[in-house]
Structure 1
Amino acid sequence: MDSTISVSTLISTGLGIYITSRVAKYLYDYYTADVHKIPSPARPSWVWGHEMAGFVRSCGMQYRDWFDQCGTTFRYKAALGAGDIICTADAGIINHVLTKHIYDYEKSPMVRPIAERLVGHGLVWAEGDAHKLQRNLLNPAFSIENVRNMAPTVQECTERYITALENHLLSHPGATAVVDVQEWTSKVTLDIIGRVGFGHDFMLGQSPETKRILDGWKNQANMGFDRSAMLGMALLRLFPALSSAPVEALKAQERTRETIKSIARGIVQEARDNLGEDGDWGEKVKGATDIISLLLKSCVTDHGLTEDELLDNIVTFVVAGHETASGTVNYTLLELARQPELQREIRRELAEFRNEHGGREPTFEEYMSGTKLPLLDAVTKEALRMYPAAPQTERIATKDDILPLRNPITTTDGKVLTEIRIKKGQTIFFPVLGINRITSRWTDPDVFRPSRWFPENAHELPDKSQLAAAGWNGSLVFSAGSRICIGYRLALYEFKILLASMLQRFAFEDEGVKLEFKQVGSLQPRVVGRESEGVQVPIRMSFFEEEDEF
């Protein structure tokens, strides 16, 4: 009797087993998870799901509308059949994923390869134990005491920036000009992180390598507005290995990283040159808690950073430390240009402070207190609400889990869910900008109105749980827990001193432009109707004359 089995029988049997196992897994996941029960927007595209609809509109706006339609937690179809994504503004889920169980949820395979290309294996890219090591190492550099020590350098960089802007205006007829503030503020925030973090002078954007950094970042941001960027992100979600493909957008990110990394090597060598012959740290490094000192000290200890990790962290802080801070200043200036009276009120508050304190400028503590300059503080909160530097983020579950809901969901069959069972690999999306503009939570959500943050107007704000979800406990505006933005104190101080200094020297007028936004590393703008000109924030600037106003 012939006991052999034909090849065709083997193939058909194997195919049958494979299909059966996939169907069984699908049915098991379907009946042991709740994602399919959650409400969803109507009419997804067969190819793009709901994602293209979210991409073509200005960042966050489509998700804001879906929140209004579907509630604070819904599911949407990912592009290219990648599966349903949970989109949420629920404080229970946000707290669970981004604070309590942060290492059970990793960055998306869309985001992590891009972070690797742009900044390498530094703090932004790292997960798990690698992140814990780097975070513990770098926390002292951004303690409140150390950021206070950075204040004089921040002030010095700001004054150099103001002087350069003054000279720029004086070179134009009538000392007035339309200025792309996007270009200018990037230069000063790059100067600040270079000086306070590494003792390196980026020369306010004038050195050749600095120009390459800024041009590289701008080119990358421009590419992020093209629809091909949406396709690239969708493909990366399905096939993370494509991050190594020779695609121009990815190559541009790598070029930016290598430019900064070459500078980083010089910074490291300069610091090492300060080592004494006996191995003691030189005066530049000994006892210091600046970033470069901490990174160097780690490299000579057991279980410290490798040389590449050291360089990648310098790249991380240069990229993240300048771009995020500058953007929020730019969009705030645009809003102030549209509200001349609000400009005057801030100047009046600053002038009254000086009058009450013998003509001096506010100290670090006074800028940061929230009570000494209440209007400036309210402007800061409103700017972060409307223009978060990281306008959206997503996480992937590394294991099966149960998501607690602060706001119960009514399912498609009429049942009420107080928690959502999810499977390993589930994507959870947090559209921060959209969350901060939900119509049901905020009065006039698209209006820049700092007065909503005054104590007497507390009734206009969402309740505490919703306010927490919007980021005012740090959960979304700066992230939270062990992943809270390590430099958030420096970013807040930079924002306030730059805004105060500019308003006391210059007046801003609206050019009538409308901006649209995309997330390209951070929130990036371009002018509607002038898309070919690329990312920019044009504002008319002139000198502020105090005697004309007070």
Structure 2
Amino acid sequence: MECSITLQFFWLFAKVVGVLAVLGIARGLVWLVNLLLVAPRFDPLRNLPGPDAAAFQSHFGEVNDPDITPEIYHDWTTKQFGKTFRYHGFGRHDYRLMSFDLRVLSHVLTSSVYEKPWQTRRYLGRLLGRGVFNMEGAEHRALRKLIGPAFTSQAVKAMSPIFFQKAEELRDRWDALVSAGGSVSSSSTTFDVAHWISRTTFDVFGLAGLDYHFNALHDESEEVYSAYRRMFAISDKSSQLRVLKQLYLPIVEKIWPDEKDKITQKCLRTIRDCGMGLIQTKREAIMAEKFDFCAEEKDILSLLIKSNLSNEPSNRLSDTELLDQLSSFLFAGSDSTALAITWCLHLLSQYPEIQDRLRAEIMAAPSPDATVASKRNSTSSVSSTSSVMQADAIEALPFLDAVLREALRVSPPVHGTVRVATADDLIPVSTPVVLRNGKIIHEDGHIRIRKGSFVHIPVEGINMAEETWGPDAREFNPDRWSALPASAQTPSFPGLANVMSFSFGHAACPGWRFALLEAKVILATLLPQFVFRPAEGVEIGKYNSVMTRPFVRDHLEDGGIQLPLRIERYVD
């Protein structure tokens, strides 16, 4: 009798499981049919012009590869589709909007309807926590308000002694490398400037952001620096399959971590333990002083803690949330600035006449305080007033400003970004769009977009649009900044006229002043000392991995991210 009841129970259980399985499969099939066949037929982006694709063909390669996108964008916008079109994401069913119409981009980047996709936020959040760069809505606005005081012009100028200190340390390290690598007849050598610049900007942010000495310029063994580098080296080389696993099946990384997962988790623990200790120590020091800052307490961590303590208790960030902001700034601030400087040196090496002009301007500039030019070590510095005066003098150099702006225009650290519509919307256009059925969306008309659709923001493409910059838009020409065409003067994006390198709208980079001044100080310190030339037999390509990084063609797998240049001492 008991056996019969048991068999009946298992038979009933099996039927229930079978029914659930059938329902699950049926639901999956309905979802798949809707995704591939039904929804695309009613997608309003379907009728926009754009490249065609086979069933599962993707255009990600064409729109995300900075090695080919200048030509692709030029061809699509000027010869085939106009300024606003659609392309295919994960297949023919996946319509995505791309536009070079500034009115379209302004609407998308300023409207609350559009947010960073959850995939982007999860990917960044996995490494950096819930920082300002992957938050949206009210949380994002509150964080922007909190961090604002840390990036005012006055606050950034107060950090200038750190910029000068680390720039001079880099100069001295390179001088030693040139001496070691040069022959008797030629004081020059070739090495990876990308790596050295990255070490410098990491050190800068360590002091300016955390009041912490990474000392990466002298020794790369410091545990937090090493943890960041190992973690992002893994991230930069992650396959698409690995990224998809991290996004859609994060539980796998926790239950069955592979060796790379274990290294990443260990690095995150190291960063978090050190960061929490720094925050606690700094907060205790500030509380002991009753919020009064001495002249030396200008680091971003101090400013954030002071601002946080000034809030109502219910609005204060936890230590974990403060650490997430610092991790985000450390990644975005150090890496993006390092890439901006690296690409600028690369361009200067290719245009020696521009390099000579820039060096002459820097060397001819009067120094407001001779002590600023004196050497400093990691424990000594000149007065803050002197450094601010020198920073003002560097910022006033017109050709240095033009060179850096132009480098950021043609080689932005971020190649592009994506937004997703959180509701159905009408996007205004300023340029007519000819639909595939021959109908025209006229100027001041609207494009319909449905909830869940992706919008690609082509940062590099906007920076090099011929309609804005003229027929030489893809060329490096700093002189264009002395006589900007009317089309390049409005609207003004943060820090740069009509250049999207710092983005636009509520997601614009809050640290653009920091990045520009740091880059100018480093360039102004290096150019009077060294001449930069292309490395012999080396061709540099661009690799898109969150940011646009340099690599030696045909050696990406074995050489990794690098930009070797031949460097020699400047002799007047």
- 2:464 aligned to 415, 437, 442, which one? 437
1:509 and 1:475 map into 2 onto residues whose CA distance is 27
Other-structure match for 2:142: 133
Distance 1:488 1:503, change over 3 A: same
Structure 1 CA distance for aligned equivalents of residues 28 and 560 of structure 2: 53
Task: Give the conservation status (yes or no) of the 8 Å contact 1:296–1:310.
Answer: no
* Residue number among 486, 493, 506 corresponding to 1:482 in the alignment: 506
- Report what 1:270 is aligned to: 281
Q: Deviations over 1:439-463 (max 9, x none)?
A: 55542333211112222xx34x745
Q: Determine helix, strand or coil for the equivalent of 2:566.
A: strand
Task: Return closer, same or farther for 1:542/1:214 CA change in 2, 3 Å cut-off.
Answer: farther
* Structure 2 CA distance for partners of 1:510 and 1:218, relative to 1, 3 Å: farther
How has the CA–CA distance of structure 1 residues 242 and 284 changed in structure 2, closer, same or farther, with 3 Å as cutoff? Answer: farther
C-alpha deviation, 1:391, in angstroms? 1.2
Q: Deviations over 1:29-68 (max 9, x none)?
A: 855x6311111113x2433422234456626344444333
Q: How does 1:249-398 map to 2 (within 5 A)?
A: 256-275=267-286, 280-281=290-291, 283=293, 290-295=300-305, 298=308, 301-354=313-366, 363-368=390-395, 372-398=396-422
CA spacing shift, 1:430–1:145, aligned 2, 3 Å: same
Question: Aligned match of 1:41 in 36, 51, 60?
Answer: 51
SS in 2 for 1:179: strand
Change (3 A) 1:16 1:425: closer
**Map of 1:219 onto structure 2:** 233
Q: Which runs of 5+ in 1 are unaligned?
A: 1-5
1:172 aligns with 181
Does 1:511 pair with 2:535?
yes
Q: What is the rounded CA distance, in whole Å, between the counterparts of 1:243 and 1:429 in structure 2?
A: 30
What is the Cα deviation at residue 397 of structure 1? 0.8
Partner of 1:3: none
1:193-212 Cα offsets, whole Å, 9 max, x none, are 11112111111342422551
Shift of 1:214: 5.5
- Give 1:108's aligned amino acid: P
Deviations 1:54-111 (A, max 9, x none): 4566263444443333211111111156621101111011111112x1x321112331
Aligned twin of 2:550: 525
TM-score of the aligned structures, taking structure 2 as reference length:
0.81
| Deviation by residue 1:403-430 (Cα, 9 ceiling, x = unmatched) | 1112120111111112111111110001
Name the SS of the counterpart of 1:363 in structure 2: helix
Quote the Cα distance in structure 2 between the aligned partners of 1:36 and 1:489. 41
RMSD: 3.7
| TM-fit CA distance, 1:540 | 0.5
* 2-structure distance, mates of 1:18, 1:473: 50
1:466-507 CA-partner distances (Å, limit 9, x unpaired): x75899457722122332211100100011111111101111
What SS does the corresponding residue of 2:501 show, helix, strand or coil? coil
C-alpha offsets along residues 380-417 of structure 1, whole Å, 9 cap, x if unaligned?
11111111111110001111111111212011111111
- Relative to structure 1, the CA distance from residue 354 to residue 365 in structure 2 (aligned partners, 3 Å threshold; closer, same or farther) is closer
Partner SS for 1:274: helix
- Change over 3 Å in CA distance of 1:134–1:173 after alignment to 2: same
Q: 2:563 aligns with which of 513, 537, 542?
A: 537
Measure, in 1, the Cα distance between the counterparts of 2:368 and 2:303.
Answer: 40
Percent pairwise identity = 26
The whole-number CA distance in structure 2 between the counterparts of 1:240 and 1:337 is 45
CA distance in 1, matches of 2:121, 2:544: 15
Counterpart amino acid of 2:315?
H
In 1: Cα distance, 2:553 partner to 2:58 partner: 26
Say if 2:164 is the partner of 1:161: no
User: 1:528, 1:89 → 2: CA distance?
Assistant: 29
Give, in whole Å, the separation in 2 of the partners of 1:58 and 1:51: 13
Task: Give, in whole Å, the separation in 1 of the partners of 2:245 and 2:84.
Answer: 25
Indicate the residue corresponding to 2:12 in structure 1. Answer: none
- 2 CA distance for matches of 1:217 and 1:373? 38
Cα–Cα, structure 1 residues 257 and 445, in superposed 2: closer, same or farther, change >3 Å? farther
Provide the secondary structure at the position in 2 that maps to 1:39: coil
Report what 2:121 is aligned to. Answer: 112
Once residues 268 and 474 of structure 1 are traced to their aligned partners in structure 2, the CA distance between those partners, rounded to angstroms, is 38
**Structure 1 residues 464 and 253: CA distance shift in structure 2, 3 A:** farther
Q: 1:190 to 1:516 in 2, by over 3 A?
A: same
Structure 2 distance, partners of 1:20, 1:380, is 50
The amino acid of 1:364's aligned partner reads A
3-state SS, counterpart of residue 476 of structure 2: coil
Q: What displacement does 1:138 show? A: 0.7
Measure, in 2, the Cα distance between the counterparts of 1:26 and 1:36.
12
User: What's the counterpart of residue 449 of structure 1?
Assistant: 477
Query: Aligned residue for 2:61?
Result: 52
Report the alpha carbon displacement of residue 163 of structure 1 after superposing the two structures with TM. Answer: 1.5
- Give CA deviations for 1:270-327 in whole Å, capped at 9, x if unaligned: 31341556x8347569986733442365268322112211111121111111000000
Distance 1:247 1:66 in 2: 42
CA deviation string 1:344-388 (max 9, x = no partner)? 1011112232289999877333433xxx32211111111111111
Match of 2:102 in 1: 91
Code of the residue aligned with 1:544 in structure 2: it is Y
Structure 2 alignment gaps of length 5 or more: 1-14, 374-388
C-alpha contact (below 8 Å) 1:73/1:89 kept by paired residues: yes
**Amino acid in the other structure paired with 1:345:** R
Name the amino acid aligned to 1:215. Answer: R
Equivalent position amino acid for 1:450 in 2: P
For 1:143 and 1:274, locate their aligned partners in 2 and report how far apart those are by CA, in whole Å: 23
Q: Secondary structure at the match of 1:302?
A: helix
Counterpart check, 1:192 vs 2:185: no
Structure 2: how far apart are the matches of 1:41 and 1:167? 53
The reply on whether 1:422 has 2:449 as its aligned counterpart is yes
**Any idea what SS the aligned residue of 2:366 has?**
helix
Q: Give the alignment partner of residue 494 of structure 1, picking from 513, 518, 542.
A: 518
- Per-residue CA distance 1:187-235 (angstroms, 9 max, x = gap): 11111111112111111342422551463256236415xxx33x55567
Letter in 2 for 1:527: V
Q: Name the CA distance, whole Å, in 2 between partners of 1:283 and 1:219.
A: 37
Q: CA deviation at 1:156?
A: 1.5
Distance 2:129 2:27 in 1: 43
In 2, Cα distance between equivalents of 1:9 and 1:389: 53
Give TM-score scaled by structure 1 length.
Answer: 0.84
Distance 2:466 2:439 in 1: 25
Q: Which residue does the alignment assign to 1:146?
A: 155
